[in-house]
A and B are shown apart, each in its own frame.
Chain A
Amino acid sequence: MDNSLTNRRSFIKKMAMLSAMAAAATMFPGIMFASEQEEGLPKGKDLDWKKTPCRFCGVGCGVLVGIENGKAVAVKGDPKSPVNKGLCCVKGYHSVISIYGKDRLTHPWVKKNGKYVKTTMKEALDLIASKMQTTIKEHGKDSVSIYGSGQWTIPDGYVASKLFKGCIGTNNVEANARLCMASAVTGFMTSFGIDEPMGCYDDIDHANAFILWGNNMAEMHPVLFSRILDQRQKRGVKIIDFATRTTRTSMASDKSIIFKPQTDLAVANAICYEIINNGWVNKSFVEKHCNFKKGLTDMGYGLEDNYKFKDKPEGINFEEFKTFLEDYSPEKVEKLSGVSAKDIKYMAAYYGDPNVKVMSLWCMGPNQHTRGTWMNNLIYNIHLLTGKISTPGNSPFSLTGQPSACGTVREVGTLTHKLPHGVVMNKKHREHAAHIWDVPVENIPSKPTYHTVEMFRALDRGDIRFMWIQVTNPMVTMPKLKRYRDATKKEGRFIVVSDIYPTPTTDIADVILPSAMWIEREGMYGNSERRTQQFDQLIDPPGEAMSDTWQLVEVAKRLGFEKQFYYKEENHIEEIYNEYRRHHEGKKHNMAPYEVLKSQPGAQWPYVDGKSTKWRFNAEYDPACSNGKDFHFYGKPDGKAIIWQRPYEPAPEEPDNEYPFWLCTGRVIEHWHTGSMTRRIPVLHKAVPHAYVELNPEQAKQMQINTGDKVKLTSRRGSVVLPASVSERGVPVKNSVFVPFFDENLLINDITLDAFCPISKQPDYKKCAVKVEKV
């Protein structure tokens, strides 16, 4: 047989195999084959497969990384992981390639006379410590700050909080998770008095209907969406996509319902109206387990510097709540929202039917919202009124976007008002933290300082003089970006940036520290379902790259805190974790022992008597329930959850004659956040090489704009020119456009608005007004 024939036969065999794989994928959504996963590997590879959570997104898939000769060469889904059951998304499969970009930062750089000079880690850390000392001496403790992220591992965030809050004595600790899930936190705190979802991903296997609130799961949480599609295949579950534009999720759903931006507030209230007026309220549940409250309204949008807001909750009764909802009949809300009364009733009927188990899922839509806390409250209202909560399949589930937004930012508490257990405003919580940290309690200030937007405003004003940024890229992600980029360039500011690649944020740094990435160091992440997942150091970091944890420990020692930062380099991660666990001791938040985390693909807190807790607040599953009833919302002193009266209020900036389009920003499946890692993965970069603006096809035709044409978007903050995308991935409704934010060369955040939810302080990246012009 000649070579060409052999090649042809080999090709046909491959075709036959791919046809079968495609057929299998239709029958079993999310199905994976070993040969597909290992395709492209040279024959004879003798790989050592090691477990780790995935580096990207908040789903927290368990992956196995194949190591050969000290290099990570392959990834496959971990079949033992209860999160993804062997599945993996396109980012996960290619994740290890992002470790080996040609321009990895391997040595520190210090800016001298306007030029970056290569230096040693020792010199760079000495300089940072010395600069912090002089800044504190000249401008006070609150002039130094740290800004991290939901990609910080648990030990990274823990030592940052301990150093700044416990040792230095400033609450200037924030993280980019403020930009993505702060409203989820305040939603939980106001409704339940304790953070994070009561349910878990197992709810997917029990629910009959899935209502996605502004959540493009097919792209943002693809593995969980595959699990939902799998359930549709097996059990015929229904998927309803409730969104402001048509996406891949809409296309895969049973029903797509489009609403006008900001009117989700009204639609959620209309669903409550329907539940009450059709007699679908679970009266016994509500009487036993819920209180009703209302808060202040007309709060503003935080557009002014030093904006302050404090809610004043006030008890109301069921009748008052019912009267409030009279303004939200489906017929009235139809006019405001563009959602037909019939569709509102359709959604309400799923929630109202006692025989249907409903899972509500949301992420950035309700969270990046100037009334984000309210939106979270409203979704909980629906589940509380019907008693569809904390039982398998009945689950309001707030998803996260980053691998440890929950584990680090929310649980360790790397936000200005937070401590690992509790808040800085509470004396007992400060005493508890100070005791474990071995610092005088007076060290921890009792007042929060700056949330993220205000922290960058303080840098602009000069109230903050020193900022250390780790594992995040605010010079791409901050809203109204130009103001904050200019702030970093002002005289008398000193910026340290720890990262693995050059980014627009390292461009504004005075010191750049090379970080060890993901499996180049030991650590843990905590995902959306309260699952803490440990990973070992599997490979060596390049050059002098060092974990963010150890960078902070080294600086802490230089600042004179050797006693508090006693950790030994060889086992400091375990030591830090064991110390951290002490903050959460007790049945409500106990963390699994380190050896448990090492031995399995994660454990869910509260981890009590050797068991993860899957459904909190339900006495059948949660050992922390102690009121003798079937449910116990123990985050609140009286054990009851709160149903909040929260009205519809308009967005701070809506389209008008001058700026007639809504601008919504977001992500694409191929790229992780600002693309600093995924744009260095050739296959992902080729798939989506640059940002674009999605236009409504009919309007694009009227404006004679075709895909690829240059389009100028202008807001009151500035302009950006992008290539058009018409009838490609997503389809916006008329008078709205969508732009992904991953592209550092096309900075859409130069034109977004820095308005935020007054309660959560989370900015709204989904709504501002722009005009659209063909260039």
Chain B
Amino acid sequence: MPIKSYLAHPLEGKKTELIKAISDISQCEVIPAENEDVVIIVTETNTKDEEEKLKEQLEAIGSLKLLALVSGFNTPIK
């Protein structure tokens, strides 16, 4: 079960839009910076395939400028 964290950079003036779009995805937790145009995303998925699809889904968000992976962990299902 992969857990990953990313720094997501919004397009200019689109931070709120980006936060909303990510918040709508159930496998994502979003932590916006209070004072900079960047948000942290922590993702939790069941399989590698699911993780790949989620990444594609994130990269397709219109308000996203850049998605940078910071850390990745794999945990056993049980």
Q: Does A17 contact B75, Cβ atoms closer than 8 Å?
A: no
Give min CB distance, A174 to chain B, whole Å.
39
Which of A16, A21, A76 is close to B73, meaning CB atoms less than 8 Å apart? Answer: A16
Whether A20 touches B75, Cβ cut-off 8 Å, given contacts A33-B32, A79-B34, is: no
Give min CB distance, A327 to chain B, whole Å.
49
Contact with A along B35-78 (1 / 0, CB 8 A): 11010111010000000000000000000000000111101101
From A4-12, A474-482, A679-687, the one touching the partner chain is A4-12
How far is A32 from B32 in the complex, measured between Cα atoms in Å? Answer: 9
How far is A2 from B76 in the complex, measured between Cα atoms in Å? Answer: 12
Residues of A within 8 Å of B29, CB to CB, are: 13, 17
Q: Does A31 contact B31, Cβ atoms closer than 8 Å?
A: no
Q: Does A34 contact B71, Cβ atoms closer than 8 Å?
A: no
Q: Interface majority SS on A: helix, strand, loop or mixed?
A: helix
Whether A13 touches B70, Cβ cut-off 8 Å, given contacts A32-B33, A33-B34, A79-B35, is: no
Q: Does A32 contact B71, Cβ atoms closer than 8 Å?
A: no
Q: Does A15 contact B33, Cβ atoms closer than 8 Å?
A: no
- Tell me whether A277 is interfacial, beta carbon within 8 Å: no
Q: Does B71 contact A33, Cβ atoms closer than 8 Å?
A: no
Residues of B within 8 Å of A690, CB to CB, are: none
Give min CB distance, B19 to chain A, whole Å.
11
- Tell me whether A87 is interfacial, beta carbon within 8 Å: yes
- Tell me whether A30 is interfacial, beta carbon within 8 Å: yes
Residues of B within 8 Å of A2, CB to CB, are: 78
Which partner residue on chain A sits nearest B37 by CB separation? A28
- Tell me whether A157 is interfacial, beta carbon within 8 Å: no
Residues of A within 8 Å of B70, CB to CB, are: 16, 19-20, 23
604-620 of chain A: CB within 8 A of chain B: none
Which of A8, A20, A27, A87 is close to B71, meaning CB atoms less than 8 Å apart? Answer: A20
- Tell me whether A41 is interfacial, beta carbon within 8 Å: no
Residues of B within 8 Å of A76, CB to CB, are: 34
Q: Does B34 contact A19, Cβ atoms closer than 8 Å?
A: no
Give min CB distance, A18 to chain B, whole Å.
9
How far is A20 from B56 in the complex, measured between Cα atoms in Å? Answer: 20
How far is A204 from B36 in the complex, measured between Cα atoms in Å? Answer: 17
How far is A79 from B37 in the complex, measured between Cα atoms in Å? Answer: 13
Q: Does B3 contact A13, Cβ atoms closer than 8 Å?
A: yes
Contact size range, B:
20 to 34
Which partner residue on chain B sits nearest A37 by CB separation? B34
Residues of B within 8 Å of A32, CB to CB, are: 33-35
Q: Does A12 contact B75, Cβ atoms closer than 8 Å?
A: yes
- Tell me whether A571 is interfacial, beta carbon within 8 Å: no
Q: Does B75 contact A33, Cβ atoms closer than 8 Å?
A: no
Residues of A within 8 Å of B42, CB to CB, are: 13, 16-17, 20
Which partner residue on chain B sits nearest A17 by CB separation? B42
Q: Does A24 contact B7, Cβ atoms closer than 8 Å?
A: yes
Residues of B within 8 Å of A31, CB to CB, are: 33, 35-36, 38
Q: Does B73 contact A12, Cβ atoms closer than 8 Å?
A: yes
Q: Does A34 contact B38, Cβ atoms closer than 8 Å?
A: no
Q: Does B33 contact A28, Cβ atoms closer than 8 Å?
A: yes
Give min CB distance, B32 to chain A, whole Å.
7
- Tell me whether A86 is interfacial, beta carbon within 8 Å: yes
Query: Which one of B32, B70, B72 has the greatest number of beta carbons of chain A within 10 Å?
Result: B70
Residues of A within 8 Å of B71, CB to CB, are: 15-16, 19-20
How far is A79 from B33 in the complex, measured between Cα atoms in Å? Answer: 11
Q: Does B4 contact A16, Cβ atoms closer than 8 Å?
A: yes
Query: Which one of A13, A16, A17 has the greatest number of beta carbons of chain B within 10 Å?
Result: A16
Total interface residues on A, CB under 8 Å, equals 31
How far is A518 from B28 in the complex, measured between Cα atoms in Å? Answer: 41
How far is A79 from B15 in the complex, measured between Cα atoms in Å? Answer: 15
Whether A13 touches B44, Cβ cut-off 8 Å, given contacts A1-B78, A5-B78, A19-B70, is: yes
Give min CB distance, B7 to chain A, whole Å.
6
253-275 of chain A: CB within 8 A of chain B: none
Which of A16, A27, A37 is close to B5, meaning CB atoms less than 8 Å apart? Answer: A16
Give min CB distance, A77 to chain B, whole Å.
7
Give min CB distance, A43 to chain B, whole Å.
15
- Tell me whether B1 is interfacial, beta carbon within 8 Å: yes
Q: Does B1 contact A9, Cβ atoms closer than 8 Å?
A: yes
Residues of A within 8 Å of B4, CB to CB, are: 16
How far is A15 from B44 in the complex, measured between Cα atoms in Å? Answer: 13
- Tell me whether A745 is interfacial, beta carbon within 8 Å: no
How far is A295 from B39 in the complex, measured between Cα atoms in Å? Answer: 58
- Tell me whether A85 is interfacial, beta carbon within 8 Å: yes
- Tell me whether A35 is interfacial, beta carbon within 8 Å: yes
Q: Does B35 contact A24, Cβ atoms closer than 8 Å?
A: no
Q: Does A33 contact B7, Cβ atoms closer than 8 Å?
A: no
Give min CB distance, A54 to chain B, whole Å.
16
How far is A28 from B32 in the complex, measured between Cα atoms in Å? Answer: 13
Which partner residue on chain A sits nearest B1 by CB separation? A9
Q: Does A24 contact B33, Cβ atoms closer than 8 Å?
A: yes
Which partner residue on chain B sits nearest A9 by CB separation? B75
How far is A15 from B71 in the complex, measured between Cα atoms in Å? Answer: 9
How far is A774 from B50 in the complex, measured between Cα atoms in Å? Answer: 64
Give min CB distance, B41 to chain A, whole Å.
8
Query: Which one of B1, B36, B75 has the greatest number of beta carbons of chain A within 10 Å?
Result: B36
Contact with B along A709-729 (1 / 0, CB 8 A): 000000000000000000000
How far is A19 from B41 in the complex, measured between Cα atoms in Å? Answer: 11
Which partner residue on chain A sits nearest B38 by CB separation? A24
Contact with B along A553-583 (1 / 0, CB 8 A): 0000000000000000000000000000000
How far is A300 from B64 in the complex, measured between Cα atoms in Å? Answer: 66
How far is A21 from B41 in the complex, measured between Cα atoms in Å? Answer: 10
How far is A359 from B72 in the complex, measured between Cα atoms in Å? Answer: 42
Which partner residue on chain A sits nearest B44 by CB separation? A13
Q: Does B38 contact A21, Cβ atoms closer than 8 Å?
A: no
Q: Does B7 contact A16, Cβ atoms closer than 8 Å?
A: no
Residues of A within 8 Å of B72, CB to CB, are: 16
Residues of A within 8 Å of B41, CB to CB, are: 20
Q: Does B33 contact A20, Cβ atoms closer than 8 Å?
A: no
| 14 A-B interface contacts by CB (under 8 A) | A15-B73, A16-B71, A17-B31, A19-B5, A19-B71, A20-B5, A20-B7, A23-B70, A24-B38, A34-B34, A35-B31, A37-B34, A79-B34, A85-B35
Report which A residues bind B (CB closer than 8 A). Answer: 1-2, 5, 8-9, 12-13, 15-17, 19-21, 23-24, 27-28, 30-37, 76-77, 79, 85-87
Q: A9-B44, A33-B32 are in contact. List 10 more A-B contacts (CB 8 A).
A: A1-B78, A9-B75, A13-B29, A16-B70, A17-B31, A19-B70, A30-B35, A32-B33, A33-B31, A33-B34
The 6 closest A-B pairs by CB, nearest first: A86-B35, A16-B5, A19-B71, A20-B5, A20-B40, A20-B70
